[in-house]
Every structure is written in structure tokens, then in C-alpha cells.
Structure 1
């Protein structure tokens, strides 16, 4: 186990190197947040994919084919459709002005109140969702420390791991700025992809059955099913092909068209054509990435067939129990890479939105704001340790689903801004509509148990309907 720890320390040293190596390039605000738009689009594409791939994706995607089939790829195809829509419809607007935050675009079109409301909702959702991701990402390190024989409680080991992970991420994010984050993302993308390929190869080796026989077994069990063509009169229709494609498209339009953390990587390139390459290319790459981790899930099913395993923990258990040293350290580093790429980007984007959308750059430097949000993110990740188990479960679920409730109304805001029509109400009233549509989406989703693939279209339609009703009332009066 000492070699696994050595691998992790070596990984952290490399990350520190990137942070301090690029520190000298952060003289101005545009340098810190967009790296002067000098980074090649291929690096930004890989950074985008690494940023949207959290440790939850790395560890939980295999569980989908472990307990089911390949229908999740329908969502991924929807992602590609959504990114294409963003590339052709929204992206030209972002490159037409001199904005650093995409919420500045909202401010220019709809007013300061909607701009700040969008920024506030983005801040809360990121602090909650990514704070929880940080907490979950610390668990593999805690498992490793426990296997090394440290006689401490799981909670204490988890906090040690969490603190270490947070300190490293905060330092290279604050010191190196956006440029360091992007190139560290690229390194981390290669680490977790190679980790996934190794895990796939190890499973093939350990199964000790001919590949053709394994494929036949999976086919017999219905594990290769991809498209869901039957609509159920009763039951979950999240993966009915029409809903899956629409839902996946809306998810991607919301995340890659309105979420500052992801859009930041697209507008950091030098021109619109490069930005469109980043968006569409990332959608294609993500499909292949999902295929890799879904294949791992299928082979895990064959490996553990006949045993009772929790699907969401099966890949973690395979890594800890079956992977030899020092490769175990590399795979744990892969998990950390998928987490740190998301978290460093969150720190930088939160700093950006409060610098530009709230005007905090008048009083605080980009590094000071990044340090503040890095610490805030760390504090939010500690919350699950102080909750009883039932409340912790509720918090985790809320953190992982909150984006589905906010993305629909967020898309509607950008759609209305793009439509070149004056709002029938003031900016403050419109902000109230925006928050109301989020709460309405939550109520509809929870109350009627709507398929998650339809939550975003519902949120979008709710806000657009509120604006149209107010426009009708305004004209009538």
C-alpha cells in the first residue's frame, strides 16, 4: 500500500507544478478567467469533458449496465443534439459582445436583476451539488488509508482525505487561474480514461471466459438493449426513446448553454468556429466515454454474477479489492482527477460570476474571490459528516438532482433574451417568475413523480408561459 500512497503524492506534486508554473500569466482579470483566449480549442475541449465528468460519473455510470442495459446512451445521443443547438443558436450571441460571464449577456438584454438572480441560483446549485461531490470523492482516499492500517474511524479518515483533496485543489486553482485549471484538466482526463481502460482490461483478464461467451451471456440476459421503443401506460418512461432524446437535449442545452462553469471553456477560445468545434466535439467524445464505463458495468455484472452487490458501490469495491498495488493508487488518482477537474472549475467560475455579475472585482482580486469560494466549497462538503444518515441521504439526493430543476427555467431566460422582445414586466418581477418556475418544477417533479428527462422541458415551458400570460394581460389592459 505504500506504493499506492506514493503514486497519490506524486500526482499531487504534478498538480502543484501546473498551478505554480502558470501563476506568472495571471496579471489581469481576463488572464485569470479566460487565459487571454490563447488556449488551443482541443485543450479546451478535453477540459470541458473533464469538467463535466465528476467522480460520481466515473463511479456510478458502470452501475447502470450492472443493474440494467445500455439505454442510458439514448441520453448521451440527446446530449449531442443539445450541444449542436447551443453551438448554432446561442453561441453566436456570446461571441458577439465583449463579455466574460455569460450572465452579463442576460444583464445586457434583460436587466441587472435577472443577471444577478441567474448568478445567485448558479452559485447555490454549484455550492450544494459540487460540495457533495467533493465529499463523495474523498471516500476512496479514506478506503485506501483504512487499507493501509490507519487505526482511525471512517469519519476521521474521510475528513483527512477531504481536507487534503480540498487544499490541493484550492491551491492550484487560486495560484494558477484558468490556464492552470485547463491544462490540469487535460492531464486529469488522460488519467481517468487510462484508469477506465485498465479496469476494463483487468476485468477481461479476471473473467477467464472467452469474450464471445461473455457477449452471448449478456445478450441472453438482455444486457445489450439500447433503444427503448415501448411507451408504458404505467411506470417510468424516462428512457422511452422520445423522452430520452428530448430530455438529453434539454439537459445539454441547459448545462452547456447556460451554466457558466461549462460555457466558460467554450467562450475562452479565440472565435466562434473554435467554440462550435469544442461543443460538438465534446458531445461525440462523451458518447465514447460513456460506452467505456458502461462496458465496465457489463463486465462487472459477469464478474460478480451470483453475488449480492450494491450497484452504486460495485465499481468502487472492485477497485479497492481487486486492483493490485501500485495500480490501485493510479485508479484512486483517476477518481480524484475526475473530482478535482470539476471542483477547480467550480471555484474559478464562482469567482468569475461574483467578480463580474455582482461587481466584487471593485474590492477583491480574482485570487481572493477564488480562495473564498474554495473555502466555502470545502465547508459545504463537510455538512454530510454532521447529519444523521436519513438527512444525509436526503441531502445527497437533493445535491444531485437540483440541476434538473434549475436548468429548464435557465434555458428559458436565455431563450427570451435571444428573442429580442421587451419583457412585459420589470426585471425584478421577471426574476420572481424565474424563481417561481423553479419552485413549480420542483413541486411538479416531486408531486407527480415526473420522469427526470421531462423536468427540464417542464421548467422551460413554465417560465415561458408565465411571461406570455403577463404579456397577454399587459396588452389587454
Structure 2
């Protein structure tokens, strides 16, 4: 393993100092908990756009997606078709309702629409979903740092968690958004640099020819693969695009982590610009990192490089950074790992704390910024612990995140769609909980059965089944809250 030279260590130190300094600058502004979590609803939308992109990219994109391109092809981009459509759905269906509600946590909106039980249950679903997803992102980044420096994964996890905790707990959502802008610029530069370097080593023409001949440039899978069926082939375009629509709608419209920063804009119009344009920025970035993985594969083939047997697709890009990349590129990519890890971790910590404060505890704690900061610290420790427990997992982290998310995200999306698309007489507070629990249990059973090969069902079906089942079951219940005049979306739940 090549070590960082003195000037490279200085470069890394300057980056970390810039992030911490930026977090400190915005932390000097004092306000209540709503200001701590929403930044006074005055954040410029371009900054929100970059923050959304930074969080969506995460370490899964920076380290995991090159591994997907290295070991598979470009079919991950099929999800982008549905993902782009989902951004328009969130912009024009979800955000208008949230801004009218003036809610801090989006689950308050469900409390207004249905009642306290739906409100708190949906918040718990978010907490479970976000803790698992963020722990996986943290683990993937820590695995890269572990390989890079030869330190145990638990040490790497604690380093990432510690740095993110410092500025997130002090500066709130302002620190998250403005530091994300720095971090987005860093890992985009890293993605461009590594692709240019690898293709220049192989020769762009030879790289393209090798990739075409091997089928690695294939994006769309129009037909069922040999030996598979419509139910078992999870990589089929129609299912992948529909899955991208469902999962992105759930992530951007039902997950406090991403939706919270959209609520920091001055108006719903600016928020809509931020979420729509994030697709036109984020999807090409994902394509860039996929192609970097393909370029890494071509370089290995062309140069006859022997990759150690213990290095799997999860670790291949981190191995390249640690063992092969030239010094300047290595420093930039290492900073990219730091950037992606912290950009996904900081926002998760802030969102988890805001959900507890506004969804699960009483009014007395809701007025305490100190309690909000301690919530961030608590969840930082929880995510670190889960990441360490998952450190021996071997499957692609890219697909693991989607599989776990589909179990709970589908139920959340089903209830939000019910709230946003049906009249007030539809939906019952306890009926929603029954529908969400049944949808989640059935999805978990289907996922387990699929993973154990007890049934032939592609995992991309599971979120779709979950959304449909939750929505239809909840639709069968009728409101017990009186006529439509008793329901209002104009003020948040207390």
C-alpha cells in the first residue's frame, strides 16, 4: 500500500479544516429548534440542489457504483429513468402540501391528515429505514478507509462519525447544506479525474472497444434473461424503471433526510427547482462513476494486473486508490471518500434528530436546541455501532441498500400517496398502521424467501408490492374524524 506524502497529507488536512471551519461559521447564528433544523427557511435553492446531490451520491456511489460497473454493466442507470420522473412527482405533488402545512418534519403532515398514530408510526418507519441505510453508507466508506490505511473498520467508522458529529451538532441544517456544497465539488472532481486517468492509460478508443465487446456498456435490458422469468429477473428495464420511480419518490418525498433540506428554501417554487435539477445533475454523476468502474476493468484487462483474491467488487475501487493510483489522484480520491461519507452521514444525523424532536417527544423537548444536539450525538453512536456489526457482509452494498429500503419505504410511500391523492373521508388512523405493518411484514417475508431461494422473485418487485398493498388496504378504511371541514392542511400538528 502506498502512503500519502507530506504534501498530500497537507491537502487532506486543508480539506478537513475547510469543512470544520465552514460548519463553525454557520453555527454562530443562534435560533430555536425550527431554525436549527430548517435554517430559517432561507437557504438558497442552488445550495439545496448541491446538498441533495451530495447526499444521494454518498459513499455508495463513490465506492460501490464503480464496483458495480467493474463487475456488471451500466444497467444501474435503468433506475435513473424512473428516478427522474419521481422528481417531478415529488416537486408538484408532495412539496406543495408540505409547504402549505409549514411542517418541520414531514410526518407532521400525516398527523394533520389522519391523526397521531399515523404520525408517530410513519416517523418510526423512517427512523428504522434511515438508520439501516445510513449505516450501510457509513460502512462502505469506512471499508475504503480501512483498506487505504490498513486500520480496522471500527477505527475508520469512528473517524468518519466523529468529524461529522462536530459540525452537524453545532451548526444544524445550515452546516449540513453548506458543507455538502464543498463536498459535492470534491467528489465530482474526483470522479472526473479518475475516469480521465484510467482511459488515458488504456487509450480511450481501446477502452471503448473493450467495453463494447464485453457488453459492459449495456444500459437497457429489454428482454428477460435466459433461465429467468418476469418475476425473477430483477434487472429487466420495465421493472428497474418502475422501481426507480417508487424508491426515489419514497426517498425524496417520504424520507425526512432528503425532504428536510427542500423545506429550507424560501418558497415552494425554489424547492421544486432544487429537486428537479438534482436529477439532471445526479444521474450523469452516477453514470460517470459507473463508467469509471468499467474503465478500471478495462485497465486491469489491458495491463494484465492481478487483483488479490480477497478484493471483491465492494473493495475494488478502494484497492485501486490504495495500491495503484498516482499520488495526486490518490489524495483527491481519498478526500472524495471523506466527502461522500460525511455528506450522507451529516444529513442523516440531522434528520433523525429532527424527527425525534418533532414527531416523538413532547413540546418541552421541542423547544430545546441542546436536546436536538444530543439527539444528533446519540444517532451518530447508533449508526457507528450498526456499521461495525455489518462489517462482514459480502454482497454488493449498492443492491443491499435498495433491498432493505424497499421493505419500509414502500409502506411509507403508500400512506403518503393515500394522504395526497384521496379525499379527507378516506383513511383511518389505526387503519393506516395496520396497512403499513402488513405491507412491511409481507415485504420482509418475500425478501427473505427470495434471498434464501425459496421463491423465484426479483427484489425489484418487493417495493412495488409493498406500495400497492399498503395503499389499497389503507384505502379500505374510512375516516373517523368527521366531515372534510374538520381536516385542514394549513397548520402543523402540535
Is the CA contact 1:76–1:286 (under 8 Å) kept in the aligned structure 2?
Answer: no
Structure 1 CA distance for aligned equivalents of residues 57 and 227 of structure 2 = 33
Alignment counterpart, residue 276 of structure 1, candidates 272, 276, 280:
272
Q: 1:27: Cα distance to partner?
A: 1.3
Moved more, 339-348 or 11-20: 11-20
Q: 1:310: Cα distance to partner?
A: 2.5
Q: 1:420: Cα distance to partner?
A: 4.1
Who is 1:150 aligned against? none
Alignment counterpart, residue 217 of structure 2, candidates 211, 224, 230:
224
Could you report, residue by residue, the CA deviation over 1:335-371 in whole angstroms, capped at 9, with x for unpaired residues? 1111101111011111111111123452262343233
Who is 2:466 aligned against? 459
Alignment counterpart, residue 159 of structure 1, candidates 154, 162, 186:
154
Is the CA contact 1:127–1:377 (under 8 Å) kept in the aligned structure 2?
Answer: no
SS at match of 2:246: helix
Tell me, yes or no, if structure 1 residue 334 matches structure 2 residue 336: yes
Structure 2 CA distance for aligned equivalents of residues 41 and 423 of structure 1 = 36
SS at match of 1:25: coil
Is the CA contact 1:247–1:453 (under 8 Å) kept in the aligned structure 2?
Answer: yes
Moved more, 379-388 or 42-51: 379-388
Moved more, 113-122 or 435-444: 435-444
Unpaired segments of 5 or more residues in structure 1? 147-153, 472-477
* Structure with the largest fraction of helix: 1
Is the CA contact 2:160–2:341 (under 8 Å) kept in the aligned structure 1?
Answer: no
Correspondence 1:130-209 to 2 at 5 A:
130-146=134-150, 154-155=151-152, 158-207=153-202, 209=203
User: Does the C-alpha gap of structure 1 residues 425 and 330 become closer, same or farther in structure 2, counting only changes over 3 Å?
Assistant: closer
Structure 1 CA distance for aligned equivalents of residues 275 and 338 of structure 2 = 25
Structure 1 CA distance for aligned equivalents of residues 136 and 320 of structure 2 = 23
Q: 1:137: Cα distance to partner?
A: 1.9
Is the CA contact 1:170–1:371 (under 8 Å) kept in the aligned structure 2?
Answer: no
Structure 1 CA distance for aligned equivalents of residues 436 and 316 of structure 2 = 40
Q: 1:294: Cα distance to partner?
A: 1.3
Correspondence 1:466-477 to 2 at 5 A:
466-470=473-477
Structure 1 CA distance for aligned equivalents of residues 352 and 382 of structure 2 = 15
Correspondence 1:49-68 to 2 at 5 A:
49-68=53-72
Could you report, residue by residue, the CA deviation over 1:389-412 in whole angstroms, capped at 9, with x for unpaired residues? 4xx559978666321111111111
Alignment counterpart, residue 25 of structure 2, candidates 10, 21, 39:
21
Who is 2:486 aligned against? none
Structure 2 CA distance for aligned equivalents of residues 460 and 304 of structure 1 = 42
Is the CA contact 1:351–1:373 (under 8 Å) kept in the aligned structure 2?
Answer: yes
Is the CA contact 1:87–1:276 (under 8 Å) kept in the aligned structure 2?
Answer: yes
TM-score (normalizing by structure 1) = 0.89
TM-score (normalizing by structure 2) = 0.86
Structure 2 CA distance for aligned equivalents of residues 131 and 231 of structure 1 = 33
Correspondence 1:100-119 to 2 at 5 A:
100-119=104-123
CA RMSD of aligned residues (A): 2.5
Who is 1:363 aligned against? 365
Who is 1:475 aligned against? none
Q: 1:199: Cα distance to partner?
A: 0.9
Tell me, yes or no, if structure 1 residue 438 matches structure 2 residue 440: yes
Structure 2 CA distance for aligned equivalents of residues 39 and 430 of structure 1 = 34
Aligned residues: 459
Is the CA contact 1:26–1:177 (under 8 Å) kept in the aligned structure 2?
Answer: no
Unpaired segments of 5 or more residues in structure 2? 450-454, 479-494
Is the CA contact 1:175–1:367 (under 8 Å) kept in the aligned structure 2?
Answer: no
Could you report, residue by residue, the CA deviation over 1:226-270 in whole angstroms, capped at 9, with x for unpaired residues? 221113474242222211211111111111111111111212111
Alignment counterpart, residue 97 of structure 1, candidates 89, 101, 124:
101
User: Does the C-alpha gap of structure 1 residues 279 and 2 become closer, same or farther in structure 2, counting only changes over 3 Å?
Assistant: same
SS at match of 1:311: coil
User: Does the C-alpha gap of structure 1 residues 361 and 192 become closer, same or farther in structure 2, counting only changes over 3 Å?
Assistant: farther
SS at match of 1:53: helix
Moved more, 185-194 or 288-297: 288-297
Q: 1:201: Cα distance to partner?
A: 1.6
Who is 1:6 aligned against? 10
Moved more, 428-437 or 342-351: 428-437
